[in-house]
């Protein structure tokens, strides 16, 4: 199977005895578009290997609490890490440096003083063995997964400007794409959209489609969309204010400091009664969204829901709730984040909720919930997500839904992914996209072990 050059960003773990070496090598590999993770001890390196599943490890022969030989032996104890190549930096041909290397199959050695050019050449040589995929990549065929799948984008049709239909979504669309627009309201017919373009206003992304090329029964409701004025989008900073309920104030302080770097201002509610009162007090629409930790089902939780329901729908803040419940399912009123979730997931959820509250100060908007869909081909899976193939490019950074019945079941019902790269396959009109599953943003080895086990069990049951 052929893959587009540079499709999968490789991850390199640098394990050296001095932090200053990390700075030099890190800068070198960042320029080459590698993801760099670092460690200065064997203990720290083993934790990073477990978390990141690097595609290559660059290691000093002697480190603070061990040797390259110790690292190699520990990795051989786990099947998942046995094949990760290790490149050893040998400072000098001394017994101390060379003894730990005997009898072990390292990917290569660099002898003597640091030479950036020689090191990058050697790294390229080793990683070329993986090609443009992860060393952990397995094809859909190997997993006995059907290749046919659908990429989908949740969007909201808000109106028209002249002869352009205007939609709000979390993903840019490509002008070459043919997208099937399916309204959530089944009474409205589907439409085939082409020649899409994108515009950013007040930090919000809009997708525009010329109405004269839209085809399908959906043209009926699309022709009746209200005229809107994009220049009237509210641009106040109040929308970046988030009410944050958590029974542990120290956790709030940690999040407040971090999220301020994302231009999100957290306002603390120490208990659910305070949270309900604040929601009502801020009913003028200045709250971008509400975060609740472990929303209870008792009277306190009901009070929160009643407070939100009292607010005019247009000013009602979206609600995000962190939960450990396996049965909690997101709906129109509340989006549940299954714990443990990473900071990235929380920021993206808040950002998406805040943007969904965009108001128009002039004229009504339609606010018709839809989904854009296009067919794709699942090529395979790896420790962070996988690779799909389609007929047009998708924009890196886009958040999409990969719809594949069996894979979604293996993912625990989840389907949301992020596109991290998209490349044209050389000498073809075919595009390939590398995606990340949000479930793999934490500990990659746990995600990959769990998924591999589920795939293995499925293969056994099907062959029985």
Read off the pLDDT of residues 219-247 as tens digits, 9 standing for 90 and up. 999 999 988 877 655 444 445 788 898 88
Which residues sit opposite 66 in a β-bridge? Answer: 63
Q: Retrieve residue 51's tokens.
A: 């978390």
Among 32-36, 216-220, 459-463, which is the least confidently predicted range? 459-463
Among 61-65, 170-174, 321-325, which is the least confidently predicted range? 170-174
Q: How confident is the model at residue 379 (pLDDT cuts 50, 70, 90)?
A: very high
The mean pLDDT of 378-386, rounded to a whole number, is 93
Q: Say whether both 331 and 221 belong to one domain.
A: no
Look at residue 367 and tell me if it is in a domain: no
The mean pLDDT of 426-435, rounded to a whole number, is 86
Cα separation, 296 vs 275, in Å, equals: 13
Q: Say whether both 214 and 255 belong to one domain.
A: no
Look at residue 1 and tell me if it is in a domain: no
| Domain of residue 409, residue span | 139-147+372-463
Which is more confident, 463 or 161?
A: 161
Q: How confident is the model at residue 459 (pLDDT cuts 50, 70, 90)?
A: confident
Q: Say whether both 322 and 342 belong to one domain.
A: yes
Q: Is the pLDDT of residue 386 over 70?
A: yes
Which is more confident, 172 or 382?
A: 382
Q: Are 21 and 148 in contact (CB under 8 A)?
A: no
Of residues 320, 352, 354, the one with CA closest to residue 337: 320
Domain stops at, among 232, 261, 293: 232
For the chain, what is the domain count? 4
Per-position b or e across 226-265, b if 16+ CB within 10 A of its CB: eebebeebeeeeebbbbbbbbeeeeebeebbeebeeeebe
Look at residue 36 and tell me if it is in a domain: yes
Look at residue 205 and tell me if it is in a domain: yes
The mean pLDDT of 276-295, rounded to a whole number, is 78
Look at residue 360 and tell me if it is in a domain: no
Determine the pLDDT at residue 283. Answer: 64
Q: Name the pTM for this structure.
A: 0.70
Q: Say whether both 163 and 270 belong to one domain.
A: no
Q: How confident is the model at residue 94 (pLDDT cuts 50, 70, 90)?
A: confident
Task: Report the percentage of the chain scoring pLDDT > 70.
Answer: 92
Q: Say whether both 219 and 125 belong to one domain.
A: no
Q: Retrieve residue 190's tokens.
A: 């589907």
Q: Say whether both 249 and 175 belong to one domain.
A: no
């Amino acid at each position: 199977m052929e893959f587009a050059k540079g499709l999968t960003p490789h991850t390199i773990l640098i394990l050296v005895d001095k932090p200053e070496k990390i700075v030099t090598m890190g800068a070198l590999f960042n320029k080459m578009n590698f993801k760099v993770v670092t460690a200065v001890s064997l203990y720290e390196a083993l934790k990073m290997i477990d978390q990141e599943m690097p595609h290559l490890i660059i290691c000093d022969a002697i480190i603070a609490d061990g040797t390259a030989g110790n690292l190699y032996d520990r990795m051989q104890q786990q099947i998942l890490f046995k094949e990760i190549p290790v490149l050893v930096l040998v400072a000098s041909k001394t017994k101390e440096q060379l003894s730990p290397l005997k009898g072990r199959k390292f990917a290569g050695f660099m002898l003597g003083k640091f030479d950036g050019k020689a090191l990058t050449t050697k790294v390229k040589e080793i990683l070329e063995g993986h090609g443009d995929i992860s060393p952990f990549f397995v094809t859909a065929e190997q997993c006995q997964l059907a290749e046919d799948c659908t990429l989908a984008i949740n969007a909201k049709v808000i109106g028209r400007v002249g002869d352009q239909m205007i939609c709000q979504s979390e993903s840019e669309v490509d002008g070459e794409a043919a997208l099937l627009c399916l309204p959530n309201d089944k009474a409205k017919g589907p439409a085939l959209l082409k020649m899409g373009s994108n515009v950013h206003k007040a930090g919000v992304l809009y997708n525009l489609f010329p109405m004269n090329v839209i085809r399908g029964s959906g043209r009926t409701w699309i022709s009746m969309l209200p005229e809107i004025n994009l220049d009237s989008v509210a641009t106040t900073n109040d929308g970046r204010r988030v009410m944050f309920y958590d029974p542990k104030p120290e956790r709030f302080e940690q999040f407040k400091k971090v999220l301020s770097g994302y231009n999100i201002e957290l306002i603390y509610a120490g208990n659910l009664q305070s949270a309900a009162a604040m929601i009502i007090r801020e009913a003028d629409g200045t709250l971008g969204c509400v975060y609740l930790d472990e929303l209870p089902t008792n009277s306190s939780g009901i009070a929160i829901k009643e407070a939100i329901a009292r607010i005019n729908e247009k000013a009602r803040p979206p609600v995000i709730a962190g939960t450990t419940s396996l049965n909690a399912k997101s709906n129109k009123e509340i989006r549940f984040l299954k714990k443990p979730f990473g900071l990235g997931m929380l920021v993206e959820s808040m950002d998406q909720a805040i943007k969904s509250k965009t108001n128009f100060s002039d004229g009504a908007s339609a606010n018709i919930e839809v989904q854009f869909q296009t067919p794709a081909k699942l090529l395979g899976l790896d420790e962070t997500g996988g690779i799909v193939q389609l007929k047009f490019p998708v924009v890196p950074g886009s958040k999409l839904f990969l719809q594949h019945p069996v894979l979604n079941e293996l993912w625990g019902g989840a389907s949301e992914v992020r596109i991290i790269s998209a490349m044209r396959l050389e000498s073809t009109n075919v595009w390939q996209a590398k995606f990340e599953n949000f479930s793999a943003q934490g500990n990659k080895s746990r995600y990959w072990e769990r998924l591999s086990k589920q795939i293995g069990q499925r293969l056994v049951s099907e062959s029985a």
